[in-house]
A and B are shown apart, each in its own frame.
Chain A
Amino acid sequence: MWIYEKKLQYPVRVNSTNPQLATYLLSQYGGPDGELAAALRYLNQRYTMPTTHTQALCTDIGTEELAHLEIIATLVYKLTKDADLEEIRQTTFGGSFVDHGKGLYYVDATGNPWTATYIQNKDDPIADLAEDMAAEQKARATYNHLLDLSDDPGVIDTLRYLREREIVHFQRFGEAMVQVQEHYACKTAF
């Protein structure tokens, strides 16, 4: 069970309308290393994690990724809501506008739809945690690329925060990996 709260995990400020930047940000919405993929991956892997502590970690980080999904959605919404047709025509947001208007959709920066093939679940905690660590690094790299393309101070502030969380989660999954290895070492020692 989850409980919704009417607040963003981190404040979102957007300085000016920018449908092109919104299109780039969609990668962290429905792209291969985006927040939807992250949330669904961890919340799916938790059932076969071997200890309550690793189940807790996958639940807690998976849930935080849903909060990040809401932050990205808010950024995209705010960057596009006041865009006029001329601004839309001049950017690659035009393609998204044809199919969805200003509504959000789970696609990457070039319009490819989200797919479950972005994520895996092996029922093997070492393999799964290794995937999770890689996923956090790939998301961090995506935020780096997005920061390179961003010139909106408000958006930059939020993206820096989200990038920092990827680094923290990489650290936590790494610690869980060590603890799972110790857990199995204990079980096989006589």
Chain B
Amino acid sequence: MNEEQTRLMLRLQQLGLTMDDLREYLDTHPDDSFAIERFNMSAQEYRQLLEQLAEDYGPLSWTCDNSESDNWLWAGQAFPWTY
């Protein structure tokens, strides 16, 4: 994993974690519009980043397509406990 990929993965983790925390917070505070706004901002950046990472380094999620290659990339890419 190169430096840029490491940096983008860390950002993806930050955004994912922010969404996990806000999702649970909103389950018990469903009227907090500030938290919803924060959630929406993170969700938008998360989707964009996931797409960028998939294009540059291979699919990270079951929802990513395999349009960049004729080879099945999902199974060939390292799992997170190995790096």
**For residue B26, which residue of chain A has the nearest CB?**
A56
Cβ-defined contact, B62 with A169, below 8 A: no
Chain B stretch 36-77: residues in CB contact (< 8 A) with chain A: 59-63, 77
> Is A157 close to B, CB under 8 A?
no
> Is A130 close to B, CB under 8 A?
no
Residues of A within 8 A of B (CB): 3-12, 53-54, 56-57, 60-61, 64, 67, 70, 73-74, 77-78, 168-169, 172, 175-176, 179
| With known contacts A6-B61, A6-B77, A74-B81, A60–B24 Cβ distance under 8 A | yes
Rounded to whole angstroms, the CA-CA distance of A73 and B81 in the bound complex is: 8
Cβ-defined contact, B80 with A3, below 8 A: no
**For residue B16, which residue of chain A has the nearest CB?**
A9
Of the candidates A4, A6, A64, which one forms a contact with B24 in the assembled complex, judged by CB atoms under 8 Å apart?
A64
**For residue B77, which residue of chain A has the nearest CB?**
A6
Tell me the dominant secondary structure on chain B's binding face.
helix
| With known contacts A3-B61, A57-B28, A8–B23 Cβ distance under 8 A | no
- Given A3-B61, A172-B28; 12 other pairs, CB 8 A cutoff: A4-B61, A5-B61, A9-B13, A10-B13, A11-B13, A60-B24, A61-B24, A64-B20, A74-B81, A78-B81, A168-B24, A172-B25
Rounded to whole angstroms, the CA-CA distance of A8 and B60 in the bound complex is: 11
Of the candidates B23, B28, B61, B79, which one forms a contact with A175 in the assembled complex, judged by CB atoms under 8 Å apart?
B28
Q: What is the interface size of chain B, counting residues whose CB is below 8 A from a CB of the partner?
A: 25
Rounded to whole angstroms, the CA-CA distance of A54 and B9 in the bound complex is: 31
Cβ-defined contact, A176 with B28, below 8 A: yes
Note all chain A residues with C-beta closer than 8 A to B77: 6
Note all chain B residues with C-beta closer than 8 A to A176: 27-28
Rounded to whole angstroms, the CA-CA distance of A5 and B17 in the bound complex is: 13
How many whole Å from B83's CB to the nearest CB in chain A?
A: 10
Cβ-defined contact, B13 with A57, below 8 A: no
**For residue B80, which residue of chain A has the nearest CB?**
A8
When A and B form their complex, which 5 residue pairs have the shortest distance between CB atoms, in order from nearest?
Answer: A175-B28, A74-B81, A57-B27, A56-B27, A5-B61
**For residue A164, which residue of chain B has the nearest CB?**
B21
How many whole Å from A68's CB to the nearest CB in chain B?
A: 11
Cβ-defined contact, A60 with B23, below 8 A: yes
